[in-house]
Amino acid sequence: MTDRSASRRGLLAAAMLVTILAAPAARPEVVARSAGGFQSTMSVWVSRTPREAYERTVGAVARWWDPSHTYSGNAANLVLEASAGGCFCETLPGGGSVQHLQVAYVQPGAAVRLLGGLGPLQAIGAGGAVTWTFQTVEGRTRVSWTYRVTGMDSEDVAQLAGPVDQVLAVQLARLGRFIETGVP
């Protein structure tokens, strides 16, 4: 290897690191909370077009979703069928499966809405609507998530607002990096 090619690789590695570190983190915010539910919103900015961001989000969920937030421990078991009535589902060992969310609305390149309760929300009978939007603003793309959760008036739903918000922030930060670099 020549000094010149080593230098180019070093510059490429440094550029990739700067890109990864510069990708804005998802800033979660529980914007509303009551005994019966909560609303969380967050967004990241990416340099891809809304269509590219949408395709990487929907078409490659198994590549960016954090495997520690799956039932099987393996994000490769996830699939998102991007059509109304489609499933954001996971295959479990031994022939099992879980439906995380059901697709309610798809506008390719612009928005996806999924219905259901993620993780512990499902076990307590809480439901919700998560909307992912992809919008061009001043030459960049804003990928936004809003998750509105409802359930019976109980402390369980309200107490889960913060933890659910944090888990979604991790997922969106991973997605932002994946959209930019192909690596979550």
pLDDT of residue 14: 31
Give 26-181's CATH code, choosing from 3.30.420.40, 3.90.380.10, 3.30.530.20, 3.40.50.2000.
3.30.530.20
pLDDT of residue 29: 74
Domain boundaries defined on the chain: 26-181
Binned average pLDDT, 10 residues per bin, the chain of 184 residues: 42 32 56 86 96 97 97 98 98 97 98 96 93 96 96 78 92 97 96
pLDDT of residue 35: 79
Nearest Cα neighbor of 97 from 86, 87, 82, 84 is 87
pLDDT of residue 25: 53
Strands across the sheet containing 78-80: 29-34, 37-46, 140-150, 127-137, 111-115, 97-107, 87-91, 78-80
pLDDT of residue 26: 59
Tokens at 19, concatenated:
């890109």
